[in-house]
Each structure stands twice: as C-alpha cells, then as structure tokens.
C-alpha cells in the first residue's frame, strides 16, 4: 500500500480522490457491512460513489468521507451503492435441481398434512434467487400449486441494500432476465411484455422482502428448513464468514439445508454440525 504516493488515486478524475479517502471508505464499508474492499477496488469505489457526490454537490472525496462519518443516512446510501448485486434466475441451477429432486416432495407432504415450511434467501439481491426457489416449490401442476400456496409456507428474502429490495418487490425484470427461467416454470409463473417479464402473483405472494444486514442482529422468528446464503461471503473476511456460518447454523432446524455460493466454503466450528451432501449443499445433522 505505502509505495504509492498519497495522491495516486487522483489521476485525471473529475473529483479529487486520495489514498486516505479510499482507506476511509474501505474501512467504513468493512465496519458496517463486512465487505472487504482491497486496493484493487479503489477505482470501483470511485466510480460507484461519484453519482452520490454529484447529487450532493460535493466537490471531493475528502469532503464526502467527512460527510459519511457523521451523516448515517448518507453512509447507508454509500454502503448500498458499494454492494455488488449481480444475480440471475436459476443461478447455480444444481441447487434448484437438488431442491426439486430431494426436498420438494417431502416438504409438500409435510405441508399437505398441516405442517409448516420456512425458507430464507439471506442475500437476496433483486429477488431472482428467491423467486426461482418459489417457482420450483410451486411446481408445474397448477392445482397442486394452489394447495401449496394455501398451506403454511413462507419464504423470507433479505438484503442490506434497499434499492434491490424495492426492485424485487415489483416482480418486474426488464430486458432478457427472464431467459434463464426454465420454460416449464416461465410459462406458468411469469408474464412477458415487450420490456421483460413479470413474476406472477402466486409466486410473489409466497415471499416477504425485508432489509437485514447479516452483520447486525437478526429480528427473525423461529428457524428455517432451508437457507440460501450464496455469493455474499465472498466479500467477507474469514472471521466474518465463520461468525456468519455459526449464526446461520443456529437459524436452521436440525435436518435443514444450507446452500452457499460456488466459490464459497464452509469454515469454522459450525462445520462440525453439518454433512456435505452435494456441491456447496450442507445438511445440519447435529444441534
Ligand atoms: C452478488 S449478490 C448475490 C445474490 C444472490 N444470493 C445470488 O447468489 O445470485 C450479493 C448480495 O449481498 C448483499 N450484501 C452484501 N453485504 C451484505 C450484508 N452485510 N448483509 C446483507 N446483505 C449483504 C448485497 O447487497 C448483494 O445484493
């Protein structure tokens, strides 16, 4: 870090941006969201925050970092702008295939006997992940789907960033986003317009979206049968991942399933409670 001059980030940019500014912002996003932003992300920070400087009429990153030190609302906006929200329908499809082939039927039997099912998409971004899961749960038989929808089933989808949650709640996905939805689900559970696809009501009605920072307290009632926590731990350091996995373990019923992202690993003491039963799929076998 130190071999660069303090003003190495200035370059030809519109707003003065120094190493000290970068370090202050990286420190803040780590402290509040757990997200690690090494020096290789310095220009990413610059490009993601310039819009906020412009909106505020602030002329330098120095002044902006001073602002977000004291203005909690602006700090939240900055952190949200620094999140990476990339996702898509049926991403890492082997998870949805596993759910369909191994979990769906027993869960439906439980629901039809009056039991309950709770699932959580814990870094939901704009909702494609949780809607994919809801579509697989409802399946392709409309009358069975109606019975499932009327049973004691709920999907919770949470994220740190407000803007993605607001987009998710609309159920509207512009452009080509719907192309990743297998036709058998797309035909039943989306409607297409010129601008993209809209997720159908029965799917949307299964899901509640809430703002939740995985680093903070979780105001959750009860445990879950399934948790998706995919492609968020990649941004965290090892102690944060361990702590998160430990808390996720507590939030799962014994016999519940945890799905994590393709480049993530189960680390820390909570791993002893789990059995790896497939690629990045874990079952909690011990309390
Ligand atoms: C790359 S997306 C992953 C979306 C989806 N799980 C998937 O795999 O396609 C990562 C999401 O994690 C969210 N995120 C980052 N830090 C978070 C935190 N501390 N608490 C909750 N969500 C967080 C971001 O806002 C972003 O929407």
pLDDT tens digits for 180-224? Answer: 999 999 999 999 987 899 999 999 999 999 999 999 999 999 999
| Protein residue with its CA nearest to atom 13 in ligand 1 | 123
Q: Are 96 and 181 contacting, i.e. CB atoms less than 8 angstroms apart? A: no
The two tokens of residue 246 are 């430990």
pLDDT value of residue 12: 56
Measured in Å, residue 144 CA sits from the centre of ligand 1 at: 32
pLDDT value of residue 7: 52
Domain ranges of the chain: 19-82, 93-284
Q: How confident is the model at residue 225 (pLDDT cuts 50, 70, 90)?
A: very high
pLDDT value of residue 45: 97
Q: Which residues contact 105 (CB under 8 A, 6 or more apart)?
A: none
CATH T-level fold of 19-82: Chemotaxis Receptor Methyltransferase Cher; domain 1 (1.10.155)
- The CATH superfamily assigned to 93-284 is Vaccinia Virus protein VP39 (3.40.50.150)
Give the number of the atom of ligand 1 that is nearest the alpha carbon of residue 236: 16
| pLDDT tens string 263-280 | 999 999 999 999 999 999
The closest of 230, 61, 102 to 157, measured between CA atoms, is: 230
* Measured distance CA(30)–CA(79) in Å, rounded: 9
pLDDT value of residue 22: 96
Exposure string (b/e) for 123-156, b if CB count within 10 Å is 16 or more?
Answer: bbbbbbbbbbbbbbbbbeeeeebeebbebebebb
Q: Which residues contact 4 (CB under 8 A, 6 or more apart)?
A: 19
Residues 59-80 have a mean pLDDT of 97
Ligand 1, pocket-test mutation among 131, 230, 232, 241, most atoms within 8 A of CB: 232
| pLDDT tens string 2-27 | 444 445 565 557 899 999 999 999 99
pLDDT value of residue 11: 57
H or E stretch covering 32: helix 19-33
Q: How confident is the model at residue 152 (pLDDT cuts 50, 70, 90)?
A: very high
| Protein residue with its CA nearest to atom 2 in ligand 1 | 85
Q: Are 265 and 251 contacting, i.e. CB atoms less than 8 angstroms apart? A: no
pLDDT value of residue 2: 42
Catalytic site residues?
A: 48, 159
Instruction: Say whether pLDDT at 79 is over 70.
Output: yes
* Measured distance CA(222)–CA(118) in Å, rounded: 9
User: Ligand 1 within 6 A of 264 CB?
Assistant: no
* Measured distance CA(259)–CA(153) in Å, rounded: 19
* Measured distance CA(238)–CA(101) in Å, rounded: 33
| pLDDT tens string 106-126 | 999 999 999 999 999 999 999
Across all residues in the chain, what is the average pLDDT? 95
Ligand 1, pocket-test mutation among 35, 92, 126, 159, most atoms within 8 A of CB: 159
Q: How many residues does the chain have?
A: 287
Write 74-79 long-range contacts (CB < 8 A, 24+): 75/28, 75/32, 77/52, 78/25, 78/28, 78/29, 78/49, 78/52, 79/28, 79/29, 79/32, 79/33, 79/35, 79/160
Q: Are 257 and 103 contacting, i.e. CB atoms less than 8 angstroms apart? A: yes
What percent of the chain has a predicted confidence (pLDDT) above 70?
96
Instruction: Say whether pLDDT at 1 is over 90.
Output: no
Q: How confident is the model at residue 179 (pLDDT cuts 50, 70, 90)?
A: very high
Q: How confident is the model at residue 258 (pLDDT cuts 50, 70, 90)?
A: very high
């Amino acid at each position: 870090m130190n071999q660069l001059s303090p003003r190495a980030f200035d370059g030809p940019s519109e707003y003065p941006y120094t190493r000290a500014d970068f370090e202050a912002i990286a420190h803040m996003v780590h402290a509040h969201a757990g997200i690690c932003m090494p020096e290789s992300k310095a220009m990413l920070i610059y490009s993601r925050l310039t819009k906020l400087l412009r909106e505020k009429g602030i002329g330098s990153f120095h002044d902006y970092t001073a602002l977000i030190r004291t203005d909690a609302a602006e700090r939240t906006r900055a952190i949200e702008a620094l999140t990476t929200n990339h996702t898509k329908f049926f991403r890492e499809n082997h998870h949805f295939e596993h759910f369909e082939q191994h979990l769906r039927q027993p869960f439906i039997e439980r629901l039809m006997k009056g039991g309950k099912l709770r699932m959580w998409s814990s870094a939901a971004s704009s909702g494609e992940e949780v809607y994919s899961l809801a579509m697989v749960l409802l399946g392709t038989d409309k009358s069975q789907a109606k019975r499932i929808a009327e049973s004691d089933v709920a999907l919770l989808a949470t994220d740190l960033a407000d803007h993605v949650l607001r987009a998710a709640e609309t159920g509207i996905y512009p452009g080509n986003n719907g192309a990743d939805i297998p036709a058998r689900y797309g035909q039943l559970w989306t409607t297409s317009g010129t601008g993209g696809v809209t997720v159908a009501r029965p799917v949307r009605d299964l899901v509640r979206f809430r703002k939740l920072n995985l680093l903070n307290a979780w105001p959750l009632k009860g445990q879950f049968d399934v948790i998706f926590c995919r492609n968020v731990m990649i941004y965290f350091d090892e102690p944060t991942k361990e702590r998160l996995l430990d808390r996720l373990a507590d939030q799962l019923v014994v016999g519940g399933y945890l799905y994590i992202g393709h480049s993530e690993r189960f680390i820390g003491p909570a791993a002893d409670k789990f059995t790896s039963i497939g690629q990045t799929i874990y079952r909690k076998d011990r309390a």
